[in-house]
Structure 1
Amino acid sequence: MPRTARKKSESGIYHIIMRGINRQTIFEDEEDCAQFLEVLQRYKEKSGYEVYAYCLMGNHVHLLMKIGIEPLEQVMRRLCGSYVYWYNNKYQRVGNLFQDRFKSEPVEDDQYFQIVQRYIHQNPVKEGLGKRVDEYKWSSFHEYIDQENIVNVKFLLEMMRDEKQK
């Protein structure tokens, strides 16, 4: 049975979820998380995407991003391929790390964007990894509070400012 076609976003913004194969852990330690974020940062300029939120959980990843120069599939091939190559080398393993293809959901309006962004940051609390979102280290929440690094924080802040002015 053929796969259903991926829904294309008019805005170019997607909520992306990548899960470990058989729900296995894809981030064994802090070095793994740091490496994934380094890969995310490294391909930002080359692929031309914007990251608005991320959360690295033990066996899955949430990303809220806008595609730029390259199509979504190529961006994800770069990100996943680079991380899996590094991970397999580190753990002396071969084969797939991520389950099936990544999931992507188009984000077409400001209200839904804010819902998804909040959901991503609250995911560790929902999973019992802390009582507050600021207790979890591997989420972009800290970039909104402390210092912007990978995430385009201004996008959400301008969106909220524009809503307030309406």
Structure 2
Amino acid sequence: MDRIARVRSETGFYHVVSRGNNKRPVFSDDVDRHRFLKLLQDCCAQYDINIIAWCLMSNHVHLLLEDLHGQLSEAMKRLLGGYAAYFNARTGRIGHLFQGRFSSRAIDTDAYLLECVRYIHNNPANAHVAPADIYPWSSYREYMSEANITATGLILDMLDGPEGFSRFVADRDACTYCFGGTRAMSDEDARRIARAIARQRGIDLALIKDMSHARRVDLALAMEDAGLMQRQIAEAIGTSKASVARMLKLRQR
């Protein structure tokens, strides 16, 4: 079967995720994490890719990368292949370390670029591991002090410096982004994002049935843009899936 072509970003920004095979850990200790980051830095330098944000979890990694010359696939192949060879040699394991190809999502607007930054840094908090500001294996500290491998300038300019960055990341409930990759968004993430979208518009979802049809359509369209399925949108705005389908068709008129 032919592989599905990756969606190309018009801006060059991509949210990249690579997961351990069978959900197994891809790091055994901090030595492994340091090696991965060194390989990441070297590969991105070789292919002229900027590292905008990163987070290393136990069995997967999140990267936000700016690919200036369409070299993302080659860079990731070199990074993941090189790290897997190192890890297998060090631990004596055999077989695939990572689960298939890496997943990527094109980030084509400033709003979603910022939301992706917030989502990546809050991954440890969302997984109940540690708050973003104390988790040691993400680019959060580079944004708050001196950058090492991360190109922090763009995001800091957009958020008015480290303090603005810290406040933005801390507002987890406002996040309207979730990386789905090839998987459907979970209902838990869908509910969180639906609440955030409603909150941005000053809407209490508990009172949604009292809202005008136009406002409910606006919510439905925003939720679809954020990646919610029609069933999840219907649950959020208190209507049927068929009604949501009719609302979404209004975009095409």
Per the TM superposition, whether the score is higher than 0.5 is yes
For the pair shown, the structure with the greater C-alpha radius of gyration is: 2
Match of 2:107 in 1: 107
Alpha-carbon distance, 1:70 to partner: 5.3
Correspondences of 1:3-152 after superposition (within 5 Å) = 3-69=3-69, 71-130=71-130, 132-152=131-151
Structure 1 segments of 4 or more deviating over 3 A?
none
Distance 1:74 1:15 in 2: 16
Is 1:156 matched with 2:161?
A: no
Structure 2 letter corresponding to 1:71: Q
- Count of matched residue positions in the alignment of Structure 1 and Structure 2: 160
Alpha-carbon distance, 1:69 to partner: 4.0
Distance 1:105 1:90 in 2: 32
Alpha-carbon distance, 1:150 to partner: 0.8
The answer to whether the Cα contact below 8 Å between 2:51 and 2:151 also exists between their aligned partners in 1 is yes
- Across the aligned residues of Structure 1 and Structure 2, the Cα RMSD in angstroms comes to 1.3
1:107-128 Cα distance to aligned partner (Å, 9 max, x none): 0111000000000000001111
CA distance 1:62–1:56, change in 2 (3 Å): same
Distance 1:90 1:155 in 2: 37
Gaps of 5+ in 1: 162-166
Deviates more, 1:119-128 or 1:85-94: 85-94
Structure 2 letter corresponding to 1:146: S
1:91-145 Cα distance to aligned partner (Å, 9 max, x none): 1122211101110000011100000000000000111111x21111000001001
The higher-RCO structure (CA 8 Å, 6+ apart) is 1
The answer to whether the Cα contact below 8 Å between 1:48 and 1:70 also exists between their aligned partners in 2 is no
The answer to whether the Cα contact below 8 Å between 2:15 and 2:106 also exists between their aligned partners in 1 is yes
- SS of residue in 2 equivalent to 1:78: helix
The answer to whether the Cα contact below 8 Å between 1:15 and 1:106 also exists between their aligned partners in 2 is yes
- SS of residue in 2 equivalent to 1:152: coil
Structure 1 letter corresponding to 2:140: F
Structure 2 letter corresponding to 1:21: N
Distance 2:95 2:68 in 1: 29
Distance 2:7 2:86 in 1: 30
Distance 1:27 1:140 in 2: 17
Select the structure that is richer in helix: 2
Deviates more, 1:70-79 or 1:112-121: 70-79
Structure 2 letter corresponding to 1:158: D
1:57-98 Cα distance to aligned partner (Å, 9 max, x none): 000000000113452110111110111111111011222111
The answer to whether the Cα contact below 8 Å between 1:47 and 1:70 also exists between their aligned partners in 2 is no
Deviates more, 1:70-79 or 1:58-67: 70-79
